Chains A and B, each alone.
Chain A
Amino acid sequence: MPPCLDVDALLDDAATRVVVCCGSGGVGKTTTSAALAIRAAERGRRTVVLTIDPARRLAQALGLETLDNEPGRVADVGATAGGADARSAAAGRGELHAMMLDMRRTFDEMVHAHAAPERAEKIIANPFYQTISTSFSGTQEYMAMEKLGQLAATGEWDLIVVDTPPSRSALDFLDAPQRMANFLDGRMIRLLSAPARAGRRGLRKIVGAGFALFARAISTILGGALLADASAFVQALDTMFGGFRERATATYALLRSPGTAFVVVAAPEPDALREAAYFVDRLAGEDMPVAGLVLNRTHPVLAALSATKARGAADGLSGAPLAAAVLRLHADRVDLADREERLLSRFISAHPAVAVTRVPVVANDVADLDGLREIGARLAAGGPEPAPAEVSTPLRRAR
């Protein structure tokens, strides 16, 4: 059995400054981030949660109706709100602040921070900037990491919990800052922006005739206007390159520091666990600390009765439809749990050192603070083994 992911120990440890929740889309990353943040706040830490694209009701629960790109205090969360673990020693300090990423505004702020006002305005008005700040494939990831860097730099927070964007691949947010920095100060864009420095002829000599052909092809394909915009953008941005690269490097260093913990979130489905496995390998390769795997939405078997026996008994029943239904739904549940077991054991055998916690499914969608508290409790109570019947937490009832 792999080690147990001790969520409370992780959240209580004053050395834990950043928790990054990552995983493929649809596994409950945003909910997990919010639940971890509430739990940390109610255990006495001054916490901020950075969400990327929360579902509407979750956003409402966190008081995020308006997108203002700055953390706002979440009412009714904290040491005095009577959370389950409010009595811990440092509880008086606990607070939760939440924010939703506005990538365009984060990018604008970054430009303002690195350029004189006049030049900043010029950059922001450039059509190419407008495209890249809203629809470049890595912008969201880059800005999420930028915002994380900003939050960390304030020194205001005991703990920052970060949700990651629903990327094409779960790894995108690690690569995006570097990719974007490379792109913005890369060789190609310098070649294209070369006219401003009267060095174009010289550069052409260096890269040879291929470049002339390429420049012609690319300007025909993309249209000359785009290239002109891009070139103007890059020239205006020139003084910021150093700043961009520095920021990307600083964020990368923060992600590798001992105060950062990565929590990999997965659902018991083959695709999600495959992504989780890639992620664990990749983080290990980057020397980034993996706290463990959260396996969301599991279906533990509560009643000790085999599927075969239950189905056999149901087949033999007549005139007791309720009992037969109960037996069949139990048998299905045993099969589902077996399947989840097989999927998890495949993951564990390839990654035996990764700590695991299981979070049994909550039948209703989580849409309020109490729901998030309950997820937090399940995160803390779970372990690598399926929950035995007697410790399973009570169910939420349908309204």
Chain B
Amino acid sequence: MTFSGWPAALSAARLHVVSGKGGAGKTTVAAALAIALASGGRRTLLVEVEGRQGIAQMFDTPPLPYAERKIAVAPGGGEVRALAVDAEAALMEYFELFYRLGMAGRTLRRMGAIEFATTLAPGLRDVLLTGKAKECVSRTGPDGRRVYDAVVLDAPPTGRVVSFLDVTKAMTELARSGPIHTQAAGVVRLLHSPLTAVHLVTLLEDLPVTETLETVEALAAADLRAGAVIVNRVRPQWLPDRSVTAAANGRVDAERIRAGLAAAGLDLPPDVLDALVTETVEHAVRVHAEGAALARLDVGPPLARLELPQLVDGVDLGSLYELAAALVEQGVAVRALDAAAS
């Protein structure tokens, strides 16, 4: 079953992984979550790993380099930074760290060697990407405090997210020794701890709900922790509950509507009235289907559920703040760092 709101346990998470079925709006939700978690003077990092520059497009900035940039302020003095992780650049970082390749490293890159290495070992790419996220989560500043209160990862969609997060198995099989092996083990410890929560963005439709429920199961099987189910693009229901089922089956009292409209001074021709009835039936069918989708979520395992409204003006920077405010209103927050420092 699902319950509304953001439980306290999720406020202890430092790495918020956001996934969802393609088209459900996970990048938008990840961005809104990063703003919401930064509210009240916190600092968050929004990370993308799929090379799409979705964050830059959303915040209407030039493409992000492989560097952490401030992209937004949050209400109450908070700050959101963003990072587009590039697997090749991340691999170069490791090369530099472990081998001090210097010039040779750049030569290899020109030869296509880096692309080759990330292609050779499927999973290496994911290890590097999640590894970079882990580094950001645990990085401390000169004062010994963590740099980021929370890191929000715009992760691959539901179909791939479990294998993306559960790279260790593949990596321990492929790279049986070496620094990458050690690195992968460290990442896995973080991903399987209460410091990580995997949020799933869904729509109230049959397929996205099915994928969400399947992913919740797959996460549990991989010993990863599902965070909140975030229901996106919720549209208002105007018909009273008692009318929905009848209307969804085509039973709409057209005469009552006509009389009501006439009372409001609207004398509509019969074809417009018919069209309104058809729209009403469509609305009812959708509301009915959404109710069924919600009921399916409710019989699943216990999960926190958040809702975000459909934005009619599209997704621009202003509307991201609207969505962030809706999340804060539902309790989204991150616990003060001192309490969680270890």
Q: A residues touching B (Cβ–Cβ < 8 Å)? A: 24-27, 53, 55-56, 131-132, 135-137, 166, 168-169, 183, 186-189, 207, 209-210, 213-214, 217-218, 220-226, 230, 267, 269-272, 274, 301-305, 309, 313-314, 316-317, 319-330, 332-333, 335-336, 339, 342-343, 363-365, 389-390, 392, 395-398
- 8 nearest CB pairs, A to B: A26-B23, A25-B22, A323-B260, A320-B260, A303-B275, A363-B285, A26-B22, A302-B275
Question: Which of chain B's residues has its CB closest to A188's CB?
Answer: B116
Q: Write the nearest CB–CB distance from A218 to chain B, whole angstroms.
A: 5
**Given A207-B111, A223-B181, residue A329 in contact with residue B283 (CB < 8 A):** yes
Q: Does B263 contact A (CB under 8 A)?
A: yes
Check B314–A303 contact: CB distance below 8 A.
no
Neighbouring B residues of A230 by C-beta, 8 Å: 120
Question: Which of chain B's residues has its CB closest to A189's CB?
Answer: B116
Neighbouring B residues of A320 by C-beta, 8 Å: 256, 259-260, 263-264
Within 8 A of A (CB), among B151-195: 156-157, 159, 163, 170, 174-181
Check A322–B257 contact: CB distance below 8 A.
yes
Question: Which of chain A's residues has its CB closest to B117's CB?
Answer: A218
Check A397–B285 contact: CB distance below 8 A.
yes
Q: Write the nearest CB–CB distance from B187 to chain A, whole angstroms.
A: 15
Neighbouring A residues of B283 by C-beta, 8 Å: 329, 333
Check A303–B285 contact: CB distance below 8 A.
no
Interface centre among A214, A305, A316, A389 (most CB of B within 10 A): A214
Tell me the bound Cα distance from A324 to B264 in angstroms: 9
Neighbouring B residues of A26 by C-beta, 8 Å: 21-24, 208
Check B275–A398 contact: CB distance below 8 A.
no
Contact with A along B263-287 (1 / 0, CB 8 A): 1111010011101111111111110
Tell me the bound Cα distance from A169 to B57 in angstroms: 15
Check A398–B178 contact: CB distance below 8 A.
no
Within 8 A of A (CB), among B275-317: 275-286, 288-289, 310, 312-315
**Given A221-B117, A322-B243, A328-B238, residue A187 in contact with residue B261 (CB < 8 A):** no
A-B contact pairs, 13 of them (CB 8 A): A132-B122, A168-B51, A186-B116, A188-B111, A213-B101, A221-B94, A223-B176, A305-B272, A322-B257, A329-B280, A364-B285, A365-B205, A397-B285
Neighbouring A residues of B280 by C-beta, 8 Å: 325-326, 329
**Given A316-B264, A322-B243, A339-B312, residue A223 in contact with residue B175 (CB < 8 A):** yes
Given A188-B111, A320-B263, 19 other A-B residues pairs in contact with their CB atoms under 8 A: A26-B22, A55-B210, A168-B52, A183-B116, A213-B104, A218-B113, A221-B94, A221-B179, A222-B121, A224-B177, A226-B121, A269-B23, A302-B276, A303-B273, A305-B272, A322-B243, A328-B236, A363-B286, A398-B288
Neighbouring B residues of A224 by C-beta, 8 Å: 177
Q: Write the nearest CB–CB distance from A243 to chain B, whole angstroms.
A: 20
Tell me the bound Cα distance from A137 to B122 in angstroms: 7
Q: Does B95 contact A (CB under 8 A)?
A: yes
Q: How many residues of B contact A (CB 8 A)?
A: 92
Check B205–A183 contact: CB distance below 8 A.
no
Neighbouring A residues of B256 by C-beta, 8 Å: 320, 322-323
Neighbouring B residues of A316 by C-beta, 8 Å: 264-265
Q: Does B69 contact A (CB under 8 A)?
A: no
Neighbouring B residues of A323 by C-beta, 8 Å: 256-257, 259-261, 263-264
Tell me the bound Cα distance from A320 to B255 in angstroms: 12
Neighbouring A residues of B266 by C-beta, 8 Å: 305, 309, 313
Q: Does B215 contact A (CB under 8 A)?
A: no
Neighbouring B residues of A274 by C-beta, 8 Å: 57
**Given A226-B121, A322-B257, residue A186 in contact with residue B112 (CB < 8 A):** yes
Question: Which of chain B's residues has its CB closest to A24's CB?
Answer: B22
**Given A222-B121, A270-B314, A325-B239, residue A365 in contact with residue B207 (CB < 8 A):** yes
Interface centre among B163, B178, B259 (most CB of A within 10 A): B178
Neighbouring B residues of A329 by C-beta, 8 Å: 238-239, 279-280, 283
Tell me the bound Cα distance from A398 to B50 in angstroms: 38
**Given A168-B156, A397-B249, A398-B248, residue A135 in contact with residue B104 (CB < 8 A):** no
Neighbouring A residues of B249 by C-beta, 8 Å: 397-398
Tell me the bound Cα distance from A398 to B271 in angstroms: 23
Q: Does B123 contact A (CB under 8 A)?
A: yes
Check B276–A365 contact: CB distance below 8 A.
no
Among candidates A213, A226, A392, residue contacting B175 with C-beta atoms closer than 8 Å? A226
Check A395–B240 contact: CB distance below 8 A.
no
Q: Does B206 contact A (CB under 8 A)?
A: yes
Interface centre among A56, A137, A217, A343 (most CB of B within 10 A): A217
Question: Which of chain B's residues has its CB closest to A227's CB?
Answer: B120
Among candidates A136, A226, A363, residue contacting B289 with C-beta atoms closer than 8 Å? A363
Check A222–B175 contact: CB distance below 8 A.
yes
Neighbouring A residues of B135 by C-beta, 8 Å: none
